[in-house]
Structure 1
Amino acid sequence: MSLPITNLRQTMLRHALDVQTYTPVPGLVLFHSVGQTLPMECLYQPRLCMIVQGSKQVTLGERVFTYNTRKYLIATVDLPVTSCVTQASTDRPYLSLSLDLDPAEIAALLLGAPPVVADTRTPPGLAVSALTDDLLCPMSRLVNLLDRPEDIPVLAPLVKREILYRLLQGEQGGQLRQIALSGSHLSQVSRVMAWIRQHYAQPFDVDSLARRAGMSTPSFYRHFRAVTMMSPLQYRTRIRLHEARKRMMSGGEDAAGAGFAVGYDSPSQFSRDYRRFFGIPPARDAAMMRAALLAEPRAV
């Protein structure tokens, strides 16, 4: 693996010139940080994440995922996580990339893939696995297309297809299959998660969510926890808190206004939830994060 990842690192150093670089390859984003970062809350969408240099820590619920150049991370649903770069320096900067996972592309590939025994278990929405040359080599070829942008329209779809195939044949293949199957438990839970993200400020109960998913309440609750590692109400709370934080940081709203805007009736309850999740009161956190954005390198 040393030669492919060395070549990939050299290519990324030429193209990852900012903290976050959107590339001409659809769905491919490069990240670069010259130092460790503060924990940042963000929403992971379905994606493959790979580190070329350095290491990173991602927290979902109570579970902590640590990965580096020997592992890759895959997310199959939209999840509120906390992430931070744990190993980086000016001499050896943190370098990573992410590639969006499109359920339609996966479904099309499954039509021609060898049949497999169906796995009826509901997989978690986030997982880390060992990185092999089978996956690293096509990823390296995809990034190398940045040196020849005229080749991207023709070759990028072919290389991305190979990457998806390697993922399907790998340890997380069952997880990837489920996001492409409309009747899978993962797909049913994902649809409800999308509804919560759109209606997070509205009241709801778990029974109504179960009906929306087409499941019994006990079955829905069990599968939701298996995917997200939290309950539906905890998921909504985190979406609310993420949105409130964004409003305070970028929109300049005060804590009370942000809390009401995301669905809280009580400023004191909003403050308690915020402090429990982020560790400090909302107003002080917003001030600190605005200062940190000016002074600290970041990676998402």
Structure 2
Amino acid sequence: MPQLDELAAIVAQNTRDDGIFDTDIPRLSLIRFSTTTQPLQTLQHPALCIIVQGSKQVMLADEIYVYGPARHLVVSVDLPVSSQIIEASPDKPYLCIRLDLDLPALGTMIMEVAPPAAEPAGICSKAICLAETSPQFLESALRLLRLLDSPDDIAYLAPLAERELMYRLLRGPQAHKVRRMLMPDSRLQQVNRAIAWIRQHYAAPFSIEQLAAEARMSPSSLHQHFRDVTAMSPLQYQKQLRLQEARRLILANAYDAATAAQHVGYDSPSQFSREYRRLFGAPPIQDVTRLKQEPGRYVEA
């Protein structure tokens, strides 16, 4: 698809070095890395990710999503994932477009745009999906990225180009799944209320009954649908948030492991160290030392 070459040229032109770069277009970031990376556990916010060169692997619990230029990824709720660039080189770097989703605007569009043909059976309920990238989809992305060369037009034309891209998303091969992910009365939105509550209170203990009341679901329904959406239980989700925040505190704020553990809600330092090692592959101090020594190999990409 020739659109991929032009998109890759625009991303390369606007990312001279490796890293993640904000643009003048709201919520649009460009990503470039010239080497593969180690897996990084991170909290993936709702976004559309379009790879135009190279490839990447995303793991949600024990489910693996691998995609490159022929596919794009959509995430509709905050999900703890492990991501890793698996194809990149100095001559042919990994290049990606990430658009953080305006979920209220997309939800309004769902009510306005007619769905495609009859919904297929057996649609997965996960809050993450991969879809084939069509030429029409790439043309819409191109119209958005070409505005980087005409900044005076961004304020007026970028919302129109983004709306066209979202329209393609809602009419594409994964349209029914995207709609199910974002319909205001869907199970996923009920689970999203539980996710928002856990994120706000991640350091405090909670009961499934309490969380179910926040989500306006029964405890049994919450437990089932939470796992359907996130591939983990509410308590596993909370644990991932706690450990990722502890890692950030140790790395960015120079907390020692015991202080970080207490800050994120652990009463037992030994349990914290054990669970930290299980998630990140090394004890806290060793893990953070490794991150500082090889920052380019452990990136949110």
Contact 2:110/2:183 (<8 A) preserved: no
- TM-superposed CA distance for 1:180, in Å, is 3.9
State the match for 2:59 in structure 1.
59
Provide the residue aligned with 1:130 in structure 2: 132
Among 260, 270, 273, the residue aligned to 1:271? 273
Secondary structure of the residue aligned to 1:134 is: helix
Letter in 2 for 1:223: H
Does 1:68 pair with 2:68?
Answer: yes
Q: How many angstroms apart in 2 are the aligned matches of 1:141 and 1:246? A: 37
1:23-47 CA-partner distances (Å, limit 9, x unpaired): 1111110001111112112111111
- Note the C-alpha offset of 1:208: 1.2
Q: Is the 8 A contact 2:123 2:177 kept in 1?
A: no
The CA distance in 2 between the partners of 1:29 and 1:78, in whole Å, is 18
Name the counterpart of 2:4: 5
- DSSP 3-state at the match of 1:69: coil
**TM-superposed deviation, 1:82:** 1.0
Where does residue 148 of structure 2 map in the other structure? 146
- Hey, what does 2:16 align to over in structure 1? 17
In structure 1, distance between residues paired with 2:3 and 2:199:
39
1:190 match? 192
Structure 2: give runs of 5+ residues left out of the alignment. none
Q: What amino acid maps onto 1:252 in structure 2?
A: A
Whether contact under 8 Å (2:291, 2:298) holds in the other structure is no
| 2:288 is equivalent to residue 283 of structure 1 | no
Q: Letter of the 1:213 partner, please give it.
A: A
One-letter identity of the residue aligned with 1:285 = D
Q: Of 164, 167, 190, which aligns to 1:165?
A: 167
In structure 2, C-alpha distance between the alignment counterparts of 1:158 and 1:179, rounded to whole Å: 23
Q: How far apart are the structure 2 equivalents of 1:39 and 1:214?
A: 35
Cα distance per residue 1:198-241 (max 9 Å; x no partner)? 11110101121111111111111111001100000000000000
On the 8 A contact 1:33/1:299 being kept in 2, the answer is: no
What CA RMSD, in Å, does the superposition of the two structures yield over aligned residues? 1.8
Report the residue type matching 1:7 in the other structure: E
Equivalents in 2 of 1:58, 1:187: separation in Å? Answer: 23
TM superposition shift of 1:174: 2.8
Runs of 4+ in 1 over 4 A off after TM superposition: 115-122
Q: How many residues align?
A: 298
More moved, 72-81 vs 181-190: 181-190
Per-residue deviation at 1:151? Answer: 1.3
Are residues 276 and 30 of structure 1, via their aligned partners in 2, closer, same or farther at CA, if it must alter by over 3 Å?
same
Aligned to 2:294, what secondary structure does the other structure show? helix
TM-score by length of 2: 0.94
Alpha-carbon offset, residue 298 of structure 1:
3.4
Higher mean displacement: 137-146 or 108-117: 108-117
Give TM-score scaled by structure 1 length: 0.94
Separation in structure 2 between the aligned mates of residue 38 and residue 247 of structure 1, nearest angstrom:
20
Structure 1 CA distance for aligned equivalents of residues 298 and 258 of structure 2: 29
Which residue type is aligned with residue 242 of structure 1? Q
Q: Judging changes above 3 Å, is the alpha-carbon distance between structure 1 residues 127 and 111 closer, same or farther for their aligned structure 2 residues?
A: closer
Q: Aligned-pair distance for 1:121?
A: 6.6
Secondary structure of 1:298's aligned partner: coil
Match of 1:100 in 2: 100
1:183 deviation in Å? 2.0
The 3 A distance-change label for structure 1 pair 101 and 186 is same
Give distance in 1, aligned partners of 2:112 and 2:189: 21
Paired residues of 2:40 and 2:298 also in contact (CA < 8 A): no
Alpha-carbon separation, structure 2, partners of 1:121 and 1:67 = 19
| Alpha-carbon distance in structure 2 between the residues aligned to 1:89 and 1:103 | 34
Of 37-46 and 105-114, more deviation after overlay is shown by 105-114
